[in-house]
Structure 1
Amino acid sequence: MEITTFNAEWPTRLLDPSGRRMAKPRTRGYTMVIDKGLGLHAFTDLLNTAGDYIDIVKFGFGTSTLYPPALMREKIELARKHGIVVMPGGTLLEAAVKQDLVPAFFRQVLTLGFNGIEVSDGTIVLSRRDRDDLIRDGVSLGLKVYTEYGKKLFGSRIDVEEFTRTAEQDWACGADLVTVEARESGVGVGLFDEHGNCRESELQFMASAVPQLERVMWEAPQKDQQVSLIKSLGSDVNLGNISVQDVIALETMRRGLRSDTFHLQSATFVADYVI
C-alpha cells in the first residue's frame, strides 16, 4: 500500500539517535563557527538553515573592521535573534592592545552590538595581569568572554600544566570557556601535527589532567579532527573554528547520524531497529 503524508516530521529517535544532544540554550556541546567574510544573504541563509546548531559566531581575525558598520550591525542582530553569541576575532583585540586602543575597542564592540569577545595572545605577548584585566573588563561590560590558549606559530605545542594554570585563572576572572588554539587550518598547531592529525596520546593526557573539560573548547576545523574529539570526549565536546559549510555535517556526527560516529546511537534505538 502506498503511504502518502504531508507536513510529516521525522520520528524523534531519528532526529537524535544518540538521545544526548541538548537543545539551545545549551550548557555543553557548543559549536563555534568562524565567519571569514560572508555576505548578508549567505549569512542569513546559514542562520535559517543551521542556526539551531550554532552557539557562537566569531568574525575571524580582524575582519570585523572591514565591513560597512550598518552591515556589521545587521549580521550581529540576526545572529543574536537566533540565540547566538557573536564576537570579533581575538586577533583584533590583540591589535587593540598593541596599538593602545583597548577602550576604543570595547566602545565599538558595544556600539555594534557584539555580546562576546575573545581574549587571546596567539600573536602578541600578553602578561598575566593584562590578560586578567581584559577578561574582567569584558565581563563587567556584560559580555561573554572566551579566552584562547596557544600560539599561532607553526609547530607550537600544548604544555598541559601551563594550560591548566591558565584555564583556572581565566575561569576565576570570569571567562566562560577556554579555547585550545588550532588556527583556522588545524595544521601544525597545538593538538594537531603537521598533517592535521590529532595527537591522540596528548589528547588523552589532557582529558585526564585538565579539570572542567566541559569549559574547554577545541578548535577543530577538519572533519577527522572533529571525529577524534567526539570519539574521545563525547558528543557534547565544545568545538570551534567550524567552517560555515560544515555546521550540519558536524551536528550529524554529534547525534550518531554519520557512519564515523554511528556507535553513539543509543542501545534502545538499535534494539528497536533490530526488532
Structure 2
Amino acid sequence: MEINTDTSWPQALKDPSDRRAGKPRSSGMTMVIDKGLGALAFADLLAASGDSIDFVKFGFGTSTLYPMPVLRDKIALAQKHGIAVFPGGTLLEAAVRLDVERDFWNVVLELGFDGVEISDGTIELSRRKRDNLIREATQRGLRAFTEYGKKTPGSRIVLDDLRRTIDADCACGAELVTVEARESGVGVGLYDEKGSCREDELRLLQQAVPEANRLMWEAPQKDQQVALLTILGPEANLGNIAPQEVMSLEAMRRGLRSDTFSLHRVVSHYMI
C-alpha cells in the first residue's frame, strides 16, 4: 500500500494561537534540563521534540560524568537540531571554588558547548567576580546565560535586587537571566513550599521587569508552567523543563491543552 507522505494537519489545528514562531526564536523559548539521558534517549527526544527546544542544559555537574564520546555526540546532535547546549551553573561554581577555572573554560570550548551558565546559587560571588565571568565567557565566544537566586530552601525573589542583577548582567554581555527554582520547583524563588506559583508576586515582577526577552523562568512543574503562560503570555521563556514534558509545554503554548485552551486570546506585553 502506498503511503501518502504529504499528509499534514491543518495549520489551524497545529497552532490555534497563530503566533508560535519557528527557530531561531527570541521569545517563547524552552530550555530542557538533561539530568543524564543516554545517547539513544537523547536522540529520540530531539527527533520528536527538537523543533520545540531552544536550549539544553546538562544539569548541575553531570557534564563531567559522561564518557567523552557520548558527551560530544550529544552536543553535536543538539546543534544539528538548532539547539544551544551548555553545562549547568553548578559546574562553573565548582570550578571557581576549586580554582580550576582556566581548565573549565578550555574543556568547554574544546567540547564545542555553545555557552555557559553563570550562577551563584550555591557559592557566593562578588559583583566584580560575576561581571568578570560573564565577560570571560563572551570574550571566548561563548553565549553567557546567568541565573538569579539561591538554591537554599525558602529563598525568595527580591524585586530591586533582581532588577539590578538583570541590568548589570546584560550590561556585561549576558543574553538571558534565569530566575532560580531548582529542578524541583518547590520552596524557592517564585514558588512556595507546595510548588504553587506566587501569582501576585509574579504580576508585580511583570510590571517591574517588562523586558520579557531578558528573562527565563525555571518552571519544572506543569501548574507552574500554566500560571506563567496565563499571566505572562505564551511567549514567556521557560526553563528546567523535563524532557518528557516538552510536547506538553508546546501544546500549552499553542492553546492545544485544556489548561490554556484560550491562551491565544491573552493580551500581554510579553507577546510579540
Trace 1:73-112 onto structure 2 (pairs within 5 A): 73-112=72-111
State the match for 1:193 in structure 2. 192
Structure 1 CA distance for aligned equivalents of residues 237 and 119 of structure 2: 18
Alignment TM-score, normalising by the size of structure 1: 0.94
- Tell me if the contact between 2:186 and 2:193 (Cα under 8 Å) persists in the aligned partners: yes
**How far has the Cα of 1:7 moved from its partner?**
3.4
Q: Match of 1:57, SS?
A: strand
Structure 1 CA distance for aligned equivalents of residues 163 and 5 of structure 2: 53
Structure 1: segments with no counterpart, 5+ residues: 268-275
Structure 1 CA distance for aligned equivalents of residues 222 and 117 of structure 2: 24
- Tell me if the contact between 2:154 and 2:188 (Cα under 8 Å) persists in the aligned partners: yes
State the match for 2:178 in structure 1. 179
Trace 1:215-254 onto structure 2 (pairs within 5 A): 215-254=214-253
- Tell me if the contact between 2:234 and 2:264 (Cα under 8 Å) persists in the aligned partners: no
**How far has the Cα of 1:87 moved from its partner?**
0.4
Structure 2 CA distance for aligned equivalents of residues 143 and 22 of structure 1: 25
**How far has the Cα of 1:266 moved from its partner?**
5.7
Larger of the two Rg values belongs to structure:
1
Equivalent residues, number: 264
Percent identity of paired positions between Structure 1 and Structure 2: 62
Change (3 A) 1:146 1:22: same
Trace 1:2-13 onto structure 2 (pairs within 5 A): 7-13=6-12
Q: Match of 1:186, SS?
A: coil
What is the CA RMSD across the aligned residues, in angstroms?
1.3
State the match for 2:44 in structure 1. 45
Amino acid at match of 1:234: G
Structure 1 CA distance for aligned equivalents of residues 54 and 45 of structure 2: 13
Structure 1 residue runs of 4 or more that deviate by more than 2 Å after TM superposition:
4-7, 264-267
Structure 2 CA distance for aligned equivalents of residues 206 and 70 of structure 1: 43
Question: What's the CA shift string for 1:177-233, capped at 9, x where partnerless?
Answer: 000000000000000000000001110000001141221000000000000000000
State the match for 1:123 in structure 2. 122
- Tell me if the contact between 1:119 and 1:146 (Cα under 8 Å) persists in the aligned partners: yes
- Tell me if the contact between 1:220 and 1:226 (Cα under 8 Å) persists in the aligned partners: yes
Change (3 A) 1:140 1:11: same
State the match for 1:261 in structure 2. 260
State the match for 2:269 in structure 1. none
State the match for 1:30 in structure 2. 29
Amino acid at match of 1:205: L
Structure 1 CA distance for aligned equivalents of residues 98 and 4 of structure 2: 62
**How far has the Cα of 1:265 moved from its partner?**
4.0
Question: What's the CA shift string for 1:16-63, capped at 9, x where partnerless?
Answer: 100111100111111000000000000000000000000000000100
Structure 1 CA distance for aligned equivalents of residues 221 and 8 of structure 2: 31
- Tell me if the contact between 1:17 and 1:266 (Cα under 8 Å) persists in the aligned partners: no
- Tell me if the contact between 1:85 and 1:144 (Cα under 8 Å) persists in the aligned partners: no
**How far has the Cα of 1:116 moved from its partner?**
1.1
